[in-house]
Amino acid sequence: MPREEMSQAGERSMSQRDVIHHGRILAAGSALAGMAVPQVHAAEDNTIRLALIGCGGRGTGAVANALTVPNGNAKLVAAADIFQPRLDASLRSLAREFGAAIDVPAERQFLGFDAYRKAIDCLKPGDVALLTTHSGFRPVHLEYAVQKGVNVFMEKSFAPDPAGIKRIIRAGEEAEKKNLKIAAGLMCRHSPARQALIQRIRDGALGQIQLIRAYRMDAGGGLGPRKGDDSELMWQIRRAPWFLWGSSGRFIGLMVHQIDECCWIKGAWPVSVHGVGGRIANSPDYSENHDSYSIEYTFADGAKAMVVGRYIPNCYNEFATFVHGTKCAAQFSGDIHAPTVHTYRDQRISPDNIDWNYGYKADKAWSTRFRGAESPWQEEWNVLLAAIRDDRPHNEAKRAAYSDLASIMGRAAVHSGKVITWDEALASNFQFCPYIDTLNENSPPPVMPDAQGRYAPPVPGAWKEI
């Protein structure tokens, strides 16, 4: 499964982190191809060394993108995970594809809850730690990487709760003081097609933005009863997307991209949010997740963003982001984050209403299809390694944390049944697992199942997570 989809049963997704093969093709025309390589910003031999913390599909694919950067001269030198089979499978896959660029002998393969420290300790200034575990552990790992003075690529989402978001922001501020580079896995920000449409929006081509609509609706999939020999805690970590403490839950794991797009389009953070959601009757899902979320964000000027996540089989599916201005509408994003970018003649979203003066058929320099000239997953790595080698400012920590906080606001509004404000979310110190820093294989699980093996989903009117 792709790194941003996590590996959720039943999720329909292109394997963009299996896009190891596509990445080489897509990167061939990168502007980085002729860049200079100043020695001061990498190891003595000009190699940027990588340490992978979290060896699942997301991490494995992120390494593939790093090693596909033209003239990137990167090498994987350390890897860490909690589970041996996952670490082994990741290294085998990468070695088949990248050969000598995978230099991770047994003494630089680390297991356990403290393995991230050992892997990061293998790096030097100018190198990159890839933080690709589930988001419950992201603040802890980011703080250590910044303390050790290495650059960071961190996957979304970035923390499951407001307390964790504050730690991400503080670590980003400390990184700024040290001139460290931090890239965040909201890769659509690096899509040239979307960047061009953003510029057109800023230039007033759509008029004043009044409504943004973002959808991720698919067949979904749930959690079954516990089986196997894993302890309760390890069983939950293996299935973190189904637990709020482990990986923010399914909604944020999938929708943080679209919520980030909404905030990017508006050039602002929402001031308040409310929403509704729930689960189907007689749901077979044992997890904490709801299977439908319908959320309305309000911005300071009164404009709205409607965000819909629904994960139920045999229903209408959609995966896209649309924006409506006073002059016309546009599509900002397409299926599986494809840069399906074009404007319409008016507010009607229809193929026969596309304004062909703009869009992928008219000007491929700024609007392309995903399986064509751009991959935002590759672009984010091209930008990061160029920033390291050219010593350019590059710190996405605060912006990424704010997008994640907006996502947490929306989830909290649905789960609690309350209106949640930005100020409330930013001031909150709520956390799902207060002992995340010292969590180990002998720790008690942050949540426990009932007598039937089910984990209680949030109940609006009674639940609190802000």
Residue 442 burial (C-beta neighbours within 10 Å; 0-12, 13-18, 19+): exposed
Whole-angstrom Cα distance, residue 417 to residue 275?
A: 7
Residues with Cβ within 8 Å of residue 335, at least 6 apart in sequence: 319, 320
What letter represents residue 167's amino acid? R
- Count CB neighbours of 116 within 10 A: 24
Eight-class DSSP state of 454: P
Domain boundaries, the chain: 16-188+377-395, 194-373+404-430
More confident residue, 44 or 418: 418
List, as one string, the DSSP characters of 131-169: E-S-GGGHHHHHHHHHHHT-EEEE-S---SSHHHHHHHH
Tens of pLDDT, residues 25-78: 333 333 333 333 333 345 557 899 999 999 999 999 999 999 999 988 999 999
Q: Residue 459: which residues within 8 A CB-CB, separation 6 or more?
A: none
DSSP assignment, residue 427? H
Q: Which tokens is 443 given?
A: 């720790």
Is the model's pLDDT at 21 over the cut of 60? no
Tell whether the model's pLDDT for residue 1 goes beyond 60: no
pLDDT digits (tens, 9 = 90+) for 425-455: 999 999 999 999 999 999 999 999 999 999 9
Cα torsion 252, 255, 256, 260: sign: negative
Alpha-carbon distance of 204 to 260, in angstroms, equals 21
Q: What is the pLDDT of residues 68-122, one digit of tens each?
A: 999 889 999 999 999 999 999 999 999 999 999 999 999 999 999 999 999 999 9
- At 47, phi and psi to the nearest 5? -90, 130
Q: What is the pLDDT of residue 43?
A: 53
Identity of the amino acid at 252? I
- The tally of CA atoms less than 13 A away on the side-chain side of residue 112 is 9
The string of pLDDT tens digits covering residues 192-216 is: 889 999 999 999 999 999 999 999 9
Looking at residue 460, its pLDDT comes to: 97
DSSP state of 5: T
Fold of the domain built from segment(s) 194-373+404-430: Dihydrodipicolinate Reductase; domain 2 (3.30.360)
- Residue environment code for 6-23, b if the CB has 16+ CB neighbours within 10 A, otherwise e: bbbeebebbebbbbbebb
Q: Cα–Cα distances in Å, from 17 out to 2, 21, 90, 143, 351?
A: 4, 10, 12, 26, 30
Strand pairing partners for 51? 78, 129
What is 108-133 written as a DSSP string? GEEESTTHHHHHHTT--TT-EEEE-S
Supply 182's token pair: 């931090």
Q: Is the peptide bond before 157 cis (omega within 30 degrees of 0)?
A: yes
Structure tokens belonging to residue 174: 């400390």
The model's pTM: 0.89
Q: What does the angle CA 324 – CA 360 – CA 268 come to, to the nearest 5 degrees?
A: 35
For 16-188+377-395, the fitting CATH number among 3.40.50.720, 3.40.50.300, 3.30.1360.70, 3.90.700.10 is 3.40.50.720
Contact indicator for 454, 286 with CB cutoff of 8 Å: yes
Q: H or E element: which one contains 319?
A: strand 318-325
